[in-house]
């Protein structure tokens, strides 16, 4: 018997948007702009990609189609409120009618927030994903987004939210509105071929953490579970290859699609990995995917008593051996992380958590919207246990 009452079970599910997959699909960008009726796009990327051949190519492809794109690239690795407001200024001044979000999670999160803020008069933080705040959004002024990821992990291209750092409070804040979902996503695995191995590994771990946390999140969402399980199998087969053979297009294709699937699955919920990675990332400006990699085994160990069924399914799918599926999955996770040279502690990745920082980190983790999706109810003691184990 199921724990759910099917006579009263109601659910609201969103599945993503239009996706164009394929090597060199970047060249179809003008077709995408035409389909969404945009004539004056603003390309948004991060500082790291600003002078890259990918950004140059994207701009040239749009120019060759007779358009004059705007270009905004002042986006930090953990994008800030200031970054978003500067982007909106450029969008309004240039009269842009669409945003092309090109890059990893930071560029995409900033770009989606700029597109949303195009039509708002309230401050950005008024749209934090708490309660019904998203109803404050005036949708008429929002502009559509075409998302083109250059990493395979964040899945921000399929998300209806952005994570933005409030530099005043050192908090990473989730900004949410259903219409922040990009209108078109171009998944071009060629764009990830040049991604350095460490970033391939860290962003791949972000994808893995989305799938694993979604699978473990409580609630009845078989569509999300199916996506999460398939994504985990694809990552198992492709991540180490993408790390060791950067030009392997099959592995890159599998990773970019697995990342998309994992991100779609995460609407079921995330958990303690993300609830802790957000405050740690905001405080120490550390890479989100790498933080997830370090936190994941500790969180899984903490959650094991509540996720026996999910671990049995996952161990079966991954063809893991051993009497205890939870232990087998933990062993698989740690072995995969070792194959791609991920650190196993926060201090190994350069994040030194002082005792005096711990109370604030615990408070921020507990108020993070992801905390509610953890299979074991989080309290201060539990968060501290995970944090100290990961230190
Ligand atoms: Fe994430």
The pLDDT score that the predictor gives to residue 340 is 98
| 288 Cα–ligand 1 center, Å | 7
- pLDDT tens per residue, range 193-236: 999 999 999 999 999 999 999 999 999 999 999 999 999 999 99
The pLDDT score that the predictor gives to residue 154 is 86
Confidence at 13, pLDDT banded by 50, 70, 90: low
Handedness of CA 252, 254, 257, 260 (dihedral sign): negative
- In whole numbers, what is the pLDDT of the chain averaged over residues? 94
| 224 Cα–ligand 1 center, Å | 16
| 25 Cα–ligand 1 center, Å | 25
| 276 Cα–ligand 1 center, Å | 11
Instruction: Read off the pLDDT of each residue in 20-33 and give the average, rounded to a whole number.
Output: 93
| 266 Cα–ligand 1 center, Å | 9
| 206 Cα–ligand 1 center, Å | 5
Q: Which DSSP string do the residues of 339-355 spell out, in sequence order?
A: HTT--SSTGGGT----G
Q: Which of 267, 130, 252 is nearest to 191 (CA)?
A: 252
Residue 14 has pLDDT above 60, yes or no: no
CA 82 to chain centre: 21
The pLDDT score that the predictor gives to residue 106 is 92
In residues, how long is the chain?
A: 391
Residue 11 has pLDDT above 90, yes or no: no
- pLDDT tens per residue, range 64-107: 999 999 999 999 988 999 999 999 999 999 999 999 999 999 99
State what percent of residues in the chain have pLDDT above 90.
Answer: 88
The pLDDT score that the predictor gives to residue 52 is 93
The pLDDT score that the predictor gives to residue 275 is 97
Instruction: Read off the pLDDT of each residue in 286-313 and give the average, rounded to a whole number.
Output: 97
| 287 Cα–ligand 1 center, Å | 10
Residue 270 has pLDDT above 90, yes or no: yes
| 323 Cα–ligand 1 center, Å | 31
Confidence at 148, pLDDT banded by 50, 70, 90: very high
The pLDDT score that the predictor gives to residue 336 is 98
- pLDDT tens per residue, range 160-190: 999 999 989 888 899 999 999 999 999 999 9
Confidence at 8, pLDDT banded by 50, 70, 90: confident
Q: Is 44 within 8 Å of 101 (Cβ atoms)?
A: yes
Q: Which of 78, 18, 75 is nearest to 43 (CA)?
A: 75
Residue 120 has pLDDT above 60, yes or no: yes
Q: Is 353 within 8 Å of 364 (Cβ atoms)?
A: no
| 277 Cα–ligand 1 center, Å | 8
Give the predicted TM-score (pTM) of the model: 0.91
- pLDDT tens per residue, range 320-346: 999 999 999 999 999 999 999 999 999
What is the distance between the alpha carbons of residues 369 and 364, in angstroms, rounded to a whole number?
A: 10
Q: Is 26 within 8 Å of 56 (Cβ atoms)?
A: no
Residue 36 has pLDDT above 60, yes or no: yes
| 329 Cα–ligand 1 center, Å | 20
Instruction: Read off the pLDDT of each residue in 19-24 and give the average, rounded to a whole number.
Output: 90
Q: Which residue has the tokens 């358009």?
A: 67
| 365 Cα–ligand 1 center, Å | 14
The pLDDT score that the predictor gives to residue 191 is 96
């Amino acid at each position: 018997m199921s724990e759910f009452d099917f006579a009263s079970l109601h659910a609201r599910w969103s599945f993503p948007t239009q996706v164009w997959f394929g090597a060199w699909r970047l060249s179809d960008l003008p077709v995408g702009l035409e389909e969404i009726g945009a004539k004056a796009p603003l390309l948004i990327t991060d500082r790291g990609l600003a002078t890259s051949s990918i950004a140059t190519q994207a701009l040239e492809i749009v120019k060759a189609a007779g358009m004059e794109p705007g270009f905004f690239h002042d986006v930090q690795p953990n994008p800030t409120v200031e970054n978003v407001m500067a982007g909106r200024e450029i969008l309004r001044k240039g009269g842009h009618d669409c945003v092309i979000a090109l890059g990893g999670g930071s560029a995409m999160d900033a770009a989606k927030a700029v597109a949303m803020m195009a039509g708002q008069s309230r401050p950005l933080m008024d749209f934090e994903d708490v309660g019904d705040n998203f109803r404050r959004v005036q949708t008429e002024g929002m502009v559509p987004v075409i998302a083109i990821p250059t990493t395979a992990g964040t899945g921000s291209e399929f998300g209806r939210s952005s994570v933005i750092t409030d530099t005043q409070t050192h908090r990473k804040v989730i900004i949410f509105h259903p219409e922040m979902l990009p209108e078109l996503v171009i998944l071009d695995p060629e764009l990830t071929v040049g991604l350095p191995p460490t970033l391939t590994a860290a962003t791949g771990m972000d994808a893995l953490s989305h799938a694993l946390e979604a699978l473990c999140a409580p609630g009845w969402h078989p569509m999300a579970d199916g996506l999460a399980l398939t994504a985990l199998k694809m990552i198992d087969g492709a991540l180490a290859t993408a790390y060791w053979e950067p030009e392997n297009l099959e592995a890159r294709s599998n990773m970019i699609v697995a990342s998309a699937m994992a991100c779609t699955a995460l609407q079921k919920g995330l958990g303690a990995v993300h609830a802790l990675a957000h405050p740690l990332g905001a405080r120490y400006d550390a890479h989100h995917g790498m933080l997830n990699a370090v936190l994941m085994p500790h969180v899984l160990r903490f959650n094991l008593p509540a996720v026996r069924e999910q671990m049995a399914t996952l161990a079966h799918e991954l063809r893991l051996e051993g009497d205890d599926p939870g232990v087998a999955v933990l062993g698989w996770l740690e072995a995969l992380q070792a194959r791609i040279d991920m650190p196993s502690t926060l201090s190994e990745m350069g994040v030194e958590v002082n005792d005096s920082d711990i109370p604030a980190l615990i408070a921020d983790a507990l108020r993070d919207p992801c905390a509610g999706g953890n299979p074991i109810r989080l309290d201060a003691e539990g968060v501290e246990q995970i944090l100290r184990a990961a230190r």
